[in-house]
Amino acid sequence: MVAKQTVSFLTKRFREVGLEPDSRHGQNFLIDMNLLNLLVDSGNIESNDLVLEIGTGTGSLTSLMAPRAAHVITVEIDTHLHQLAREELEEFDNITMVQNDALRNKNNFSPIVLSTIKEKFESIPNCRFKLVANLPYNVATPIISNLLLTEILPTSMTVTIQKELADRIVAVPRTKDYSALSIWMQSLCDCRIVRVLGPSVFWPRPKVHSAIIHLEHSLEKRSRIHDVPFYHEFVRSLFFHRRKFLRSVVISSFKGQLDKPDVDDVLDRLELGPQTRAEELPVERILELSEGMRLKLQEVESR
């Protein structure tokens, strides 16, 4: 039986077990069946896919995904919800439920989650790994950005997040939303907003609008980056001081490693003048700059 995710189902189920939704954990449940289905459909789940869900909640999305996937790993921080979902999902034999914080800290996934993914991934022939989730909004950014740095890389990520965050991910240069996150995600993924969702499709209603976003990981894009962790750090450092000129930002982030003439040499060769700011540069230019800096570091180290 598919758990019916309606307000009456949820309030009844929560009352039975004496629970209240916890806003600290971003507990806003999607109560529109059509949208749950849209989220699953947009995830393009196939029979040899390993699906990761962060935020099991009551298990409603999980129960829609399990019949389509080879296996679903679902992670829930809240022990009570984990227990409740366990009862709802009893009938499925291809779901692994993990009761844990999905993140060890802002920059790293929980080792338990990572080892569960690895073990399952290796046991499924021709497996593809996908994230499909109605994410807890307070940890949405670290989840989607860090999953692109883990050992088992996702083919795609299809998630519900705050609309504001979705706008930042797809932002173009010279706009206020264009940020390290936009560049990082667009450097590795084709990013597309599938649908904007109002607060009324969740229980309880969040204060903000949301969006379903589909991020298709592109190996072609990834192949342009020679050292992915270096690139990640470099992109982040470019936006620490948003209003500063690019030159001084780059000089300060390579302080102790590169002298000013070395930085100027890279900037000159790429024709990045003294008035340039990072927020004006399209992704391709940032990629060139990062690669220029990486090679310059190698050159200096071998002097």
User: What string of DSSP letters covers 3-16?
Assistant: PP--HHHHHHHHHH
Compute how many residues bind ligand SAH; rule: CB under 6 A.
22
Residue 109 binds ligand SAH, judged by CB under 6 A: no
Give the residue, chosen from 40, 52, 57, 246, that forms a contact with ligand SAH under the rule CB under 6 A.
57
Residue 102 binds ligand SAH (CB under 6 A)? yes
Q: Which residue's entry shows tokens 């991934």?
A: 121
Peptide bond into 204 cis (omega under 30): yes
State yes or no: residue 134 binds ligand SAH (CB under 6 A): yes
Residue 253 binds ligand SAH (CB under 6 A): no
CA 265 to CA 261: how far, in whole Å? 6
Nearer to ligand SAH by Cβ, of 14 and 254: the residue is 14
Look at the block and give the residue holding tokens 């939303």.
177
Structure token pair of residue 165: 């965050």
| 188 touches ligand SAH by CB under 6 A | no
Binding track, positions 62-91, relative to ligand SAH; x by CB under 6 A:
-------------xxxx--x----------
Told to check if 201 binds ligand SAH by CB under 6 A, we report no
Cα 149 from chain centroid (whole Å):
10
Burial class (CB in 10 A: 0-12, 13-18, 19+), 274: exposed
Q: Is 141 in the site for ligand SAH (CB under 6 A)?
A: no
- In our burial notation (b when 16+ CB lie closer than 10 A, e otherwise), range 210-228 reads bbbbbbbbbeebeebbeee
What is the spatial distance between Cα 28 and Cα 21, in angstroms, rounded to a whole number? Answer: 8
Q: Does 28 bind ligand SAH (CB under 6 A)?
A: yes
Applying CB under 6 A, does 139 fall inside the site for ligand SAH?
yes
Q: Which stretch binds ligand SAH (CB under 6 A): 52-60, 213-221, 222-230, 279-287?
A: 52-60
Choose among 151, 138, 231, 140: nearest CA to 187.
Answer: 231
Instruction: Decide if residue 42 touches ligand SAH (CB under 6 A).
Output: no
- Of 49-57, 166-174, 182-190, 220-228, the segment contacting ligand SAH by CB under 6 A is 49-57
- Binding-site member from 3, 35, 50, 61 for ligand SAH (CB under 6 A): 61
- Minimum distance from residue 82 beta carbon to ligand SAH (Å): 9
Where helices occur in 17-173 by DSSP H, the ranges are 33-42, 60-65, 79-88, 111-123, 140-146, 163-169
Verify binding: residue 291, ligand SAH, rule CB under 6 A: no
Contacts of 21 (CB under 8 A, 6+ apart): 14, 27, 28, 29, 203, 204
The yes or no reply on residue 162 touching ligand SAH (CB under 6 A) is: no
The least distance separating ligand SAH from the CB of residue 16, rounded to whole angstroms, comes to 17
Strands 128-134 and 49-54: parallel
Q: How far is the CB of 72 from ligand SAH (least distance, A)?
A: 11
Q: In this complex, which beta carbon is closest to ligand SAH, that of residue 58 or of residue 187?
A: 58
Residues that bind ligand SAH (CB under 6 A): 25-30, 54-55, 57, 60-61, 75-78, 81, 101-103, 134, 136, 139
